Amino acid sequence: MQGEGLPDVVADGLEGRNFGKAVCVITGASKGFGRCLAKEIACLVNPGSVFVLVARSGEKLRELEEELAATPAGKAGLITRCVVADLGAKEDVEKVVSEIRATASYSDINQLLLINNAACLGDISRFARTFTDMDEINTYLSLNVSSALCLTAGVLQAFPRRPDLRRCVVNVSSLCAVQPFPSWVLYCTGKAARDMTFNVLAKEEPDIRVLNYAPGPLDTDMQVAARTISGDAGLKETCVKMHDQGQLLTCEESCTKMLNVLLKDEYPSGAHVDFYDI
């Protein structure tokens, strides 16, 4: 049944709203927030929708594909395509775009939903003054910034503007996009650059709905790294306290809020919306 398994918060006041017959592209889909998004969005699309799930782990993607196939959406005809790719590599970004182009031939698609979720912390054990290797920095930016821009451009070219197609692009952002965290120079730089990238897209393409969503402090592997290897002692202590005091969010909590924002569709295109703003 359409909508079965819908999170209560999403269902509240949004009865009858969903993403229609959609092509949904999620990067970093194999674990954490991306995996949660795939499972929840599957409850909010019509039969015949297509999911393109991108991650480096083929095994985890296959596990997710099996989980989605067992859901009501999967049994109703959800089409899932898994793409194993390292988005820091040009040829892998091109492989993902090629797979997405193949979905453009599906009939009656009325929604394109691209979620740029893939990212990494980089080396958070060091301070800005220690980064003298340009190759190291360029490698980080290729994965966390360049790939998001190139992938988004490729997807939008595969699904050009047409009257019956709604296009929505989400950048999974962070508080680090707007606030400096000592010893997190790579991550903060990458997140700030991505926010601006999608702000520009929103200005250039007013028919595309663009959202920079900061999901808050999630209880994921990234937070484990934050509280164990952060170079700044104060920041590390803050992360430890948040964990010990139960202040971390589940992926499900944050995912529900993001989906509410997208379904209500009241945000200014290009806006940076934080979990705690809603």
The answer to the question of residue 33 being in a domain is yes
Q: What is the CATH number of the domain that holds 117?
A: 3.40.50.720
Tokens of 137: 């920095």
Give me the pLDDT at residue 1, please: 31
- Model confidence at 235, pLDDT cuts 50, 70, 90, reads very high
The answer to the question of residue 232 being in a domain is no
Distances (CA, A) of 132 to 138, 190, 199: 11, 17, 29
Residues ≥6 apart with Cβ < 8 Å to 104: 23, 158, 159
The answer to the question of residue 231 being in a domain is no
Interval 137-162 mean pLDDT: 97
**Are 148 and 194 within 8 A, CB to CB?**
yes
Residues ≥6 apart with Cβ < 8 Å to 36: 251, 252, 255
Q: What percent of the chain has pLDDT over 90?
A: 89
Give me the pLDDT at residue 10, please: 52
The answer to the question of residue 164 being in a domain is yes
Does residue 223 carry a pLDDT above 80? yes
Q: Residue 265's closest CA among 62, 54, 18?
A: 18
How many separate domains does the chain show? Answer: 1
Average pLDDT, the chain: 94
Tokens of 18: 């969903």
Q: What does the chain come to in residues?
A: 278
Give me the pLDDT at residue 13, please: 52
Distances (CA, A) of 259 to 6, 116, 272, 278: 11, 15, 15, 12
Q: Residue 79's closest CA among 36, 117, 108?
A: 108
3-class DSSP assignment, residue 210: strand
- Model confidence at 152, pLDDT cuts 50, 70, 90, reads very high
- Look up the domain containing 132 and give its range: 8-217+251-277
Does residue 206 carry a pLDDT above 80? yes
3-class DSSP assignment, residue 79: strand
Provide the residue type at 121 as one letter.
L
Flag whether the pTM goes above 0.85: yes
Give me the pLDDT at residue 5, please: 42
Provide the residue type at 275 as one letter.
F
Pairing of strands 50-55, 79-84: parallel
The answer to the question of residue 227 being in a domain is no
- Please count the other Cβ atoms lying within 10 Å of the Cβ belonging to residue 138: 11
Q: Residue 42's closest CA among 16, 14, 79?
A: 79
Provide the residue type at 138 as one letter.
N
Interval 192-220 mean pLDDT: 98
Give me the pLDDT at residue 106, please: 78
The answer to the question of residue 161 being in a domain is yes
pLDDT tens, position by position, 81-91: 999 999 999 99
Does residue 11 carry a pLDDT above 60? no
The answer to the question of residue 112 being in a domain is yes
Does residue 8 carry a pLDDT above 60? no
The answer to the question of residue 181 being in a domain is yes
